[in-house]
Chains A and B, each alone.
Chain A
Amino acid sequence: MKDFKQEKTRVDQADRTIYDVKDRLDPAFLMDSGITPEIVNQISREKNEPEWMRLFRLKSLKLYNEIPLPTWGPSLDELNMDQIVTYVRPKSTMKAKWSDVPDDIKETFERLGIPKAERKSLAGVGAQYDSEVVYHNVRAEVASKGVVYTDIESALTGPYSEMIRKHFMKLVPPSDHKFAALHGAVWSGGSFVYVPAGVTVEIPLQSYFRLNAPGAGQFEHTLIIVEEGAYLHFIEGCSAPRYYVANLHAGCVELYVGKNARLRYSTIENWSKNMYNLNTKRASVEEGGTVEWISGSFGSHISYLYPMSILKGKKARMEFTGITFAGEGQNLDTGAKVLHAAPDTTSHISTKSISRDGGNSTFRSVVTVTEKAEGSKSAVSCESLMLDSISRSDTIPVMDISCNQADIGHEAKIGRISESAIFYLMSRGLSEDDARALIVGGFAEPIAKELPLEYAVEMNNLIHLEMKGSIG
């Protein structure tokens, strides 16, 4: 039996100062709380939408009222939809220059470092404040290649309206689950990206979603189409100040990855701890295409987040790399889903989680391999660290295999640092503390190296390790 009598590693809470600054609530329009056909019609009217979208919203609302809450996962009993405001329009229309954005909103995004990041390392930025996009811009050289990056409302009525209609909520139909239906009924804001065939967008695009109003919901819709042979890295960031009433995020992300195209989708979710994050993300990948998900879940009170990849073309590929930190008052239920629906498809899911201070972290996944997916391969790996005995960490994977010509592997572990690894490092001259620090630092490193630099720094700040003993 191993010696478990070791001191604990300390993992501090993140410094949320910049995220928790609250702006004065001063919207141009604030919808009544709750969700009714009148409210849905009013949202549609406010946005001057085409009739088909208004009808789509009403149909989604009907589904929302019919579909029950999930019978699995963290409890949603305390989420009272009658108290959630589904639409808050800020006092600004969409601008293409930061100087045109109202000062108070601009200052919020300045604090979050978005304009600076745009100048330094991004090909384009979209910024949403409450229910509407307030800023969108894309570098001229990227736009000149035919890349479209705009808010989805503009796209809905502009030259890409037919493309939007063809793809909008086709991967995630409102019937999928209760909060997909809710999204269909009250969605607002979000981004539309179109990358033409053969175009490589060498530096990332980023959308940042900021929810300022207390008791409000954010329901942005992100639709990305990457055509044959194209490449895009898209970054999504989210934050909100902390309030003592529940906020709700029920966004939807739909990604269409064309033949031999590649899309990397990075998310750093740092919502405040009064947030219910019930987000749905799904990708469809054609022959030879690749989708890569990088996911960091740090915030929220409760999360349900399982990006799904549908590998529908031969040799399509997905990779999912995720990390979850669950602290006091958090119940983060995260993971991934993949459907192998074509021959020679490949998936690789790798996740890490840390639970501390009574936090609850759950890894949940499903790998489905259909009869058609001959020659497919899937590997799932999840590792969890519990830093005290008042926290929880659960893994709930499902493998559903209907193909006898596939190779599927799964491994998961909850555990401590190997004593033999410490012994080895000490034999090479490291002190015990340094050896433990090195190993613990390595735990999160595979994820950190996949993150954009500024987010990797943020994550490393989050893990403040005082290596007095072993982890666990």
Chain B
Amino acid sequence: MNTQINRLPVPTWNRTGVNWLDQKALPPDREYLQGRHLPYDGILPHGITLMDHLPAGVAEIKSGMGEWLDEFIRKGADKTCYLLGEGIASEPVIITQNLDPAQPVIRTHYAIKAKPGSNLTVVQINRGDAKDGVVENLTQIDAQADSFVRLISIQLLGKNSQSFDAVGARIGKGAKVELIRAVFGGKTAACGSMAHLEGQGGGYQQDTAYFTDEDQIFDFNDIASHIGRETVSEMHTAGVLSGRSSKILRGTIDFKAGSAHSVGHENETVLLLSPRARNRTVPLILCGEEAVEGQHAATLGRFDEKQLYYLCSRGLSLMEAKRMLVEARFMPVLNKITQDDLRQEILTIIERRLDEHEINS
């Protein structure tokens, strides 16, 4: 089994350093944890129940981080959470995990099985910090026909910790999965998602927001694999890089033979605040089917002087104008976070990091 994490589906020049996650960002070599605990002790909303065992066929749903890490988390998870959606859930399931010195390793395996026609939202919040702490999550989603699953992943760890967030989704006929991610914390944060659009008319929407500073290393590997006919993927990423941080985004739209009449769009906008930050963007389109439409776009650069000038001419200070432009980039993510306090917490982080950047620059 290949042990590389976040491997680019088709490799390119090795000297670009983008073919897989940098060795220095790998998860610590720790033994499997013992015990199987539930990360959620609240009352599940109407329409969602907890399953005792992993449903058949879910273990095979690959994430974007690679089989080795998937298996490592699945076999070694100390916490498991297998959710079954039936009908329309009355409210989201919100699961918060806290890393602390007493619990420096969290390894959680989530499974979400959405029965035909069901509708549910799961919010995963990871926060806290510990020396050499690590959070490893694997979420496997089986969205059956005409179901809707929204997974919101908020990562607010401290800078002593590492985060590995693997998501795999099998999307059935007419089903739709949304992955909403906000990634701010961790000395390294690696995320890898793979949407298997198997059923005709299946849809996948992904919106990611990230903001790095100091020496943070962020690494993404997001793949929309179009297998069924008339499938649609939309992957959008917005990010800000400051300090001496670095980030790699691999985003792949993969049209398999047979995915006729499918459409895939992907874009990324990156704002580089610091001359010492490094951004690498690798947007792939792989196409083995003729009757498809695929498009990707990336815009990397600085604040638009004209936009800043306009906003300042309307009475905003320069900092207010910059904050407004950054928040606007993150709106697709922020708008889907329905918890006001959580959204406000993210806005405060953005404001603080922009202020710190201004002070340090």
Contacts and interface: CB of A to CB of B under 8 A. Distances in A.
Interface of A: 1-2, 4, 71-72, 364, 366, 371, 384, 386-389, 391-416, 472
A365 B278 CA distance: 18
Residue from A1, A389, A393, A411 with most neighbouring chain B CB atoms (10 Å): A389
A394 B298 contact: no
Given A72-B13, A401-B281, 13 more contacts: A2-B261, A4-B261, A72-B14, A395-B283, A396-B284, A397-B284, A399-B300, A402-B275, A403-B272, A406-B302, A410-B296, A410-B299, A413-B296
B294 A413 contact: yes
B293 A415 contact: yes
Interface of B: 10-14, 16, 18-19, 230, 255, 257, 260-261, 270, 272-302
A1 B298 contact: no
B176 to A, nearest CB: 15
Contact of A389 (B257, B270, B299): B257
B294 A415 contact: yes
A1 B19 CA distance: 34
B254 to A, nearest CB: 9
Contact of A399 (B276, B286, B298): B298
Nearest to A413: B295
Contact of B287 (A364, A414, A416): A414
Given A71-B11, A398-B16, A472 B290 contact: yes
Contact of A403 (B275, B287, B293): B275
B11 A414 contact: no
A384 B296 CA distance: 12
A329 B316 CA distance: 61
Contacts of A391: 290
Residue from B284, B285, B289 with most neighbouring chain A CB atoms (10 Å): B285
Nearest to B8: A396
Contacts of A72: 10-14, 19
B284 A395 contact: yes
Contacts of A2: 261, 293
B282 A397 contact: yes
Given A2-B261, A389-B288, A407-B302, A402 B278 contact: yes
Contact of B300 (A396, A408, A414): A408
Nearest to B282: A398
A5 to B, nearest CB: 9
Contacts of A406: 272, 300-302
Given A389-B289, A401-B280, A407-B302, A412 B272 contact: no
Contacts of A402: 275-279
Given A1-B230, A4-B261, A366-B13, A386 B290 contact: yes
B261 A404 contact: no
B278 A409 contact: no
A71 B10 CA distance: 10
B299 A409 contact: yes
A402 B292 CA distance: 34
A366 B295 CA distance: 18
Contacts of B260: 4, 389
Given A394-B284, A404-B302, A412 B295 contact: yes
A402 B280 CA distance: 9
A400 B291 contact: no
Contact of B290 (A387, A403, A408): A387
5 contacts: A2-B293, A394-B286, A401-B281, A407-B300, A412-B297
A388 B290 CA distance: 5
A415 B293 CA distance: 4
Contact of A1 (B12, B257, B261): B261
B142 to A, nearest CB: 25
B199 to A, nearest CB: 15
Contacts of A388: 290
A408 B299 contact: yes
B275 A405 contact: yes
Nearest to A366: B16
Contact of B301 (A393, A408, A472): A408
A399 B275 contact: no
A392 B288 contact: yes
Nearest to B259: A389
Contact of A394 (B275, B285, B299): B285
A384 B290 CA distance: 10
Contact of B280 (A387, A392, A398): A398
A117 to B, nearest CB: 36
A404 B274 contact: yes
B282 to A, nearest CB: 5
A416 B279 contact: no
A413 B11 CA distance: 20
Nearest to A372: B275
A397 B301 CA distance: 17
Contact of B292 (A364, A396, A398, A414): A414
* 9 shortest interchain CB distances as A-B pairs: A404-B272, A408-B300, A72-B11, A407-B301, A415-B293, A386-B290, A414-B294, A410-B298, A413-B295
A412 B285 contact: yes
